[in-house]
Chains A and B, each alone.
Chain A
Amino acid sequence: MKKAPFLRSYTLFYLLFLYSPIILLPIFAFNDSKVVAFPLAGFTLDWFREMLSDQNLRIAAKNSLIIALSVASVSTILGIFAARASVRYRFPGKAPLMGLIMLPLVLPEMIIAMALLVVLLSLNVPLSLFTVIIGQVLITTPFAVAILTSAFQSLDKSLEEASMDLGETAWSTFRLIILPLVMPGIMASFLICFTISFDEFIISNFLGSGQPILSVYIFGQFRFPAKVPSMLALGTVLVCFSIILLGIAEYMRRRGIAKAGGKDSGGFL
């Protein structure tokens, strides 16, 4: 490894730029002033108290949790089906079907949301948390498929054949051999879909019919200067929360690769 002082300091500056707004979160969340500006005015926990006593915020957080847990479960299950089928079997129409499943990755989210909304309105389906869930699943499933495909690809096919030769059925082989081996991939997919869903805004906003959902609620509150400090407190909590979840996802991913005997090629996407 050659030393590259210029590149190194550039990268550190880049990281500083990436983190600059996030660094402000804890600074002003504990700052004892309604005015969000330097110089700081002293330490307080008031904003966290205000955040905890906000009734609407509680409802929004509960709704977001319901949505994110449902979305993560459904898209991980749909992802298992699609990833297993595409890795293991050849069948007619595979390329167009997989293309359609992965399409939301290359389509502006607004268009997906509007297309779905137009159909729901035409069919007189009332908008609810349920419609948010079915919309978000479209967005998160491609991520689940991508993560699970690499998990299924690193499986050794001979393990499966050995199990079948020893008299297990296809289902019991799946349950006893394959599932435990891809479990870290499943966990990683669940956590990443959960995180994406929890942060998602466009579908929550347009398919949710004004139900309080965390991202939509935050978006609305930032317009009122008096609400900003407690939103910064909420942001601080959420950032810690995402870092913990991602740490777990990354750990699962590495363990999965180690289990399958592969080499770490780094990164999520």
Chain B
Amino acid sequence: MAQTPGSEARTGLKLISPTAIYVILLLAVPLATVLMYSVMTGGRGNVSLPLTFENYTELASKSVYGYLLLKSLMVALIVTAITVLLAYPVAYFVSFHVKPERKSLWLFLITIPFWTSYIIRVSLWFVILGYDGVLDKTLMALGIMDTQLNFSSYGIPAIIFVLAHAYAPFAVLPIFVSLEKVDRSLLEAGQDLGESRWVTFLRVTLPLSMPGVIAAALIVFIPTVGDYVTPKLVGDGKQPLIANFIETQLLKLQDFPQGSAFAVVSMLMVAFVSVLFVLANKRFIGGQK
């Protein structure tokens, strides 16, 4: 069964080639095109030479772009923080207080909402929270309120609430996985040495589960920062975030160079924050030793 390294490499490359060719043509090439467009000149629906950095200087000079990026970033970070904080006790409960044979069932219950249509979940919040929605009508019918609360018109807070609900199940699994890896004998040792349960949690369990917390944060942050549907439906469309803005620039205004530059900058912003998360994680693992 001896295979020479050369033939192994060839077989491997041959095997991966269909998938690799697919992603190179349909992912790498389009992303490269966007990058190229972002340094070209052009107006409605066309691009042309010469190459220029004007699109980027335009982004830097007009505060509307910076405001939009910052707003989207803040929304995504707040949603991430809420989601992770709410998910941690749930993951902790399933990992530490549920019988091993029942764990799968609990995880299954937690993941089901995530696998049911995202559009329907978000639209349901619109039906519940919106003008003439279930919440307002019910409160009024019961005589608790006499005016419409219309929570969905609250813009950013409503968007944050709906996003935090939509991505909640994402956060439980990674935290659960890292909690499962925590060596239970360390906890017993901590308590045998006289630490209280709370101190043991803070000094042993929490640091050891940080990789899962960071993974959860990343898994929530990336889709929320690029979410399109929620701002459109729940925020009354008056609070566009990155994805809605890219749509306006690329499709409605057909400004390919400017839209591409904005897409590149938002991609860089997402990448930058993600790298920060990963570095924070490395530092945490390093600090353990």
Contacts and interface: CB of A to CB of B under 8 A. Distances in A.
**Chain B interface extent, by class:** 35 or more
Given A81-B19, A118-B260, A269-B174, A250 B115 contact: no
A137 B55 CA distance: 31
Given A10-B89, A266-B177, 4 more contacts: A106-B274, A108-B226, A110-B242, A219-B233
Interface string B167-202: 011000110110010000000000000000000000
Interface residues of A, number: 95
A90 B9 contact: yes
A43 interface: no
A110 B89 contact: no
Nearest to A18: B113
Given A81-B18, A84-B15, A100-B28, A107 B267 contact: yes
B73 to A, nearest CB: 12
Contacts, number: 279
Contacts of A266: 103-104, 107, 176-177, 180
B33 A110 contact: no
Given A109-B223, A206-B251, A239-B116, A14 B13 contact: no
Interface of B is mostly: helix
Interface of A: 1-4, 7-8, 10-11, 14-15, 17-19, 21-22, 24-25, 28, 35-39, 77-79, 81-82, 84-86, 88-94, 97, 100-101, 103-112, 114-119, 122, 134-135, 137-138, 141, 145, 161, 164-165, 195, 198-199, 201-202, 206, 215, 218-219, 222, 225, 228, 231-232, 235, 238-239, 242-243, 246, 250, 254, 264-269
Interface string B113-137: 1011111110111111000111001
A263 to B, nearest CB: 10
Contacts of B103: 266
Interface of B: 1, 5, 8-13, 15-20, 22-24, 26-31, 33-34, 37, 86-87, 89-90, 92-94, 96-99, 103-104, 106-113, 115-121, 123-128, 132-134, 137-138, 141-142, 165, 168-169, 173-174, 176-177, 180, 218-219, 222-223, 225-226, 228-229, 233, 242-243, 246-247, 250-251, 256, 259-260, 263, 266-267, 270, 274
6 contacts: A14-B87, A36-B127, A84-B15, A86-B16, A116-B26, A118-B30
A218 B120 contact: yes
A167 B5 CA distance: 22
A153 B11 CA distance: 18
Contacts of B15: 81, 84-85, 88-89
A81 B177 CA distance: 27
Nearest to A115: B30
Given A37-B137, A91-B9, A110-B246, A11 B121 contact: no
A137 B18 CA distance: 13
B26 A100 contact: no
Given A15-B109, A219-B229, A89 B11 contact: yes
Contacts of A103: 23, 27
Contacts of A88: 12, 15
A10 B93 contact: yes
Contacts of A135: 26
Contacts of B5: 90
A111 B1 contact: no
Contacts of B259: 114
A199 B118 contact: yes
B137 A110 contact: no
Contact of A11 (B1, B29, B89, B174): B89
Contacts of A85: 12-13, 15-16, 19
B47 to A, nearest CB: 8
Contacts of B23: 100-101, 103, 138, 141
A115 B31 contact: yes
A108 B110 CA distance: 24
Residue from A15, A111, A206 whose CB has the most chain B CB atoms within 10 Å: A111
Contacts of B111: 246, 267-268
A116 B96 CA distance: 45
B61 to A, nearest CB: 23
Contacts of A24: 124, 127-128, 134
A264 B104 contact: yes
Contacts of A86: 16
A219 to B, nearest CB: 5
A142 to B, nearest CB: 10
A111 B226 contact: yes
A17 B229 CA distance: 20
Nearest to B29: A119
